[in-house]
Amino acid sequence: MMKSLLLAAALLGVFSTAALGGDRYATRPPVVLSPDLAAPWIMQLGGGKVRPVVYQRPVVFQQRGLFAPRATQQVPPALTRPVSAINPGVPVVRQRIEPQFLPQIVAYETQENPGTIVIDTNNRFLYLVMDGGKARRYGVGVGKPGFEWAGAHKITRKSEWPDWTPPSEMVSREAAKGHYLPARMDGGPENPLGARAMYLGSTLYRIHGTNAPWTIGNAVSSGCIRLRNEDVVDLYERVKVGTRVIVM
């Protein structure tokens, strides 16, 4: 009798499990494929009519002390270069810039002596004249409409990580737009003058770096000539006080 009861219970468990199993798989789950194996498995699953479900996972890596997402997500270029060679420990924001505005050696015929700086504001280029009909060319940002100027000056002072004291005219002009500028700003990565500044004559104009590198190649300033920080550092080290600067 006892053996009969045990046999009946076992048979009941088998049938109930099968029933539950049928319910569980009545709707088949989606096929999950690795991105690397997608192409061959698509062929096996029926060609182009079958679209696999692919789950991407963000990959986190450590590079010189900075964590950033990579690979499966579109990562802003700013996260691909973790620290600044100019100011170690400060993350560098690397923005897209048109190739023609990157530093390069170009053919350049001029009557100006080697070592002279020539700024072509129309084309947004700064040339450092070299021997042999060549020049080192940098992309620049120049004065916006109404703030263009031309002339010849000399570099009268050089400064690393300069402080910024906005002229009273600029303070008033920006206040009328609802933008309130500080009376003074210490030098640093957030300072609009950037990493270096070279002062032109007795004017308020400078050749300087920027905290907005994406503006290079545009007419955006109040008359100053701006370069990317890495470019202004390079230029700063190649010129000296007394260098002739021609703005066209």
At residue 232's C-alpha, the angle toward residues 242 and 128, to 5°, is: 55
Predicted confidence at residue 160, as pLDDT, reads 98
Locate the domains of the chain by residue range: 102-247
Q: Above 90 in pLDDT, residue 6?
A: no
Strands 142-143 and 59-63: what pairing?
Answer: unpaired
pTM (two decimals)? 0.62
Q: How many CB atoms lie within 10 A of CB 125?
A: 20
Q: How confident is the model over 167-173, as a mean pLDDT? A: 85
pLDDT of residue 103: 97
- What average pLDDT score do residues 168-187 get? 86
| Inter-CA distances, 232 with 24, 138, 239, Å | 67, 9, 11
Band of pLDDT at residue 164, cut at 50, 70 and 90: confident
Output the six-digit token pair for 239. 């010129």
Predicted confidence (pLDDT) at residue 104 exceeds the cutoff of 80: yes
Pair 57, 71: CB distance under 8 Å:
no
On whether the CB atoms of residues 213 and 97 are closer than 8 A, the answer is yes
pLDDT (0 to 100) of residue 169:
85
Assign 2 a pLDDT band (cuts: 50, 70, 90).
Answer: low
The residue with greater pLDDT, 101 or 40, is 101
What CATH number was assigned to the domain covering residues 102-247?
A: 2.40.440.10
Residue 42 has pLDDT above 60, yes or no: no
Average predicted confidence (pLDDT) for the chain: 75
Which token pair is 85? 């060679």
Residues involved in catalysis: 208, 224
Mean pLDDT on 92-112: 86
Q: Which residues contact 57 (CB under 8 A, 6 or more apart)?
A: 72
CA 99, 105, 108 angle in degrees (round to 5)? 110
Place 180 in a pLDDT band, splitting at 50, 70 and 90.
Answer: confident
CA dihedral 98→215→104→113, nearest 10 degrees, is 140
Contacts with 216 (C-beta within 8 Å, 6 or more apart), sequence order: 97, 101, 124, 139, 140, 141, 210, 226, 227, 228
Q: Sign of torsion, CA 243 115 236 168?
A: positive
pLDDT at 5: 53
